Amino acid sequence: MASTAGRPSRVAKLPPRERILDAAEELFQREGIRRVSVQAIAERAETTKMAIYRHFETKDALVAEWLRIVAADYQAAFDQVEAAHPGRPKQQILGLARFIAEGLPAISHRGCPFINSLAELPDRDHPARRVIEEHKAQQARRLVAMCAEAGLPDPAQTTAEITFLLEGAQVSTQNGSIDRVGDRLMGIIEGIVDERRPR
């Protein structure tokens, strides 16, 4: 086997801030926020604690930035379904459900990062918790707008029902209580959208 001594690792090729965030994501997802120390993140990112604190004032700030990135990925899913189905809000709603359904296999191993993080962050003033709450509020506003555009009666109530389904599907996948969660999720949401669409 050829020696790798003296070669830069793949991790070391990334900019320091990106290395830190990648390491934090991996460790937080695998072990939880509270169990992961700043030192462990530094070692995984092949850097130092001092370097982490140059980019993030506190561990809490690092957690909040990680969740901000996760939230941005979910908001990007809204952008993608709107771009893929312009003027077709029903298909946009189903596209969002499909995005969640297709992500369920990963959740079965790691769990939903928002649900997991909320369980570890009981302080309502924690900066990471505020990131999650703001993300969820924005997600609800966008889904209400889709339901209204689709002509569904009581868009706020329909949004609540769809949100319960999407989040419940993630919890059920994580705890293994229901089989074929993705297929069932899509079938139920298709039923909601079709049954309440104006004739």
Residue 150 is part of a domain; what is its CATH number?
Answer: 1.10.357.10
pLDDT (0 to 100) of residue 13: 75
Structural domain range at position 42: 13-56
Q: Compute the chain's Rg from CA coordinates.
A: 20
Query: Does residue 7 sit within a domain?
Result: no
pLDDT (0 to 100) of residue 4: 38
Residues 108 and 186 in one domain: yes
Residues 103 and 129 in one domain: yes
Taken in order 161, 166, 167, 172, is the CA torsion positive or negative?
Answer: positive
Residue 181 neighbours by CB distance under 10 Å: 23
Residues 21 and 90 in one domain: no
pLDDT (0 to 100) of residue 1: 36
Query: Does residue 150 sit within a domain?
Result: yes
* pLDDT exceeds 60 at position 186: yes
Binning pLDDT at 50, 70 and 90, where does residue 164 land?
A: very high
More confident residue, 133 or 13: 133
Binning pLDDT at 50, 70 and 90, where does residue 11 land?
A: low
Tally of domains in the chain: 2
Residue 141 neighbours by CB distance under 10 Å: 10
Residues 76 and 169 in one domain: yes
* pLDDT exceeds 70 at position 108: no
* pLDDT exceeds 90 at position 14: no
What is the C-alpha to C-alpha distance for residues 28 and 31, in angstroms, rounded to an integer? 5
Least confident interval from 54-68, 94-108, 174-188: 94-108
Structure tokens at 161: 């029902």
Residues 32 and 92 in one domain: no
What is the C-alpha to C-alpha distance for residues 92 and 185, in angstroms, rounded to an integer? 15
Contact residues for 186 (Cβ-Cβ < 8 A; gap 6+):
94, 97, 98, 101
Task: Please give the model's pTM, rounded to 2 decimal places.
Answer: 0.84
pLDDT average, residue stretch 106-135? 89
What is the C-alpha to C-alpha distance for residues 133 and 112, in angstroms, rounded to an integer? 15
Query: Does residue 6 sit within a domain?
Result: no
Give the model confidence (pLDDT) of 63-91 as tens digits.
Answer: 999 999 999 999 999 999 999 999 999 99
Structure tokens at 100: 């969640």
Residues 90 and 44 in one domain: no
* pLDDT exceeds 50 at position 8: no
Residues 92 and 26 in one domain: no
Residue 191 neighbours by CB distance under 10 Å: 10
pLDDT (0 to 100) of residue 196: 64
- Percentage of the residues of the chain whose pLDDT score is greater than 70: 91
pLDDT (0 to 100) of residue 199: 52
What is the C-alpha to C-alpha distance for residues 45 and 39, in angstroms, rounded to an integer? 10
What is the C-alpha to C-alpha distance for residues 114 and 100, in angstroms, rounded to an integer? 13
Structure tokens at 94: 């189903």
Residues 46 and 75 in one domain: no
Residues 109 and 25 in one domain: no
Output the average pLDDT for the chain: 90
CATH number, domain containing residue 30:
1.10.10.60
Half-sphere exposure of 4 (CA within 13 A, CB side): 4
What is the C-alpha to C-alpha distance for residues 48 and 184, in angstroms, rounded to an integer? 46
Query: Does residue 1 sit within a domain?
Result: no
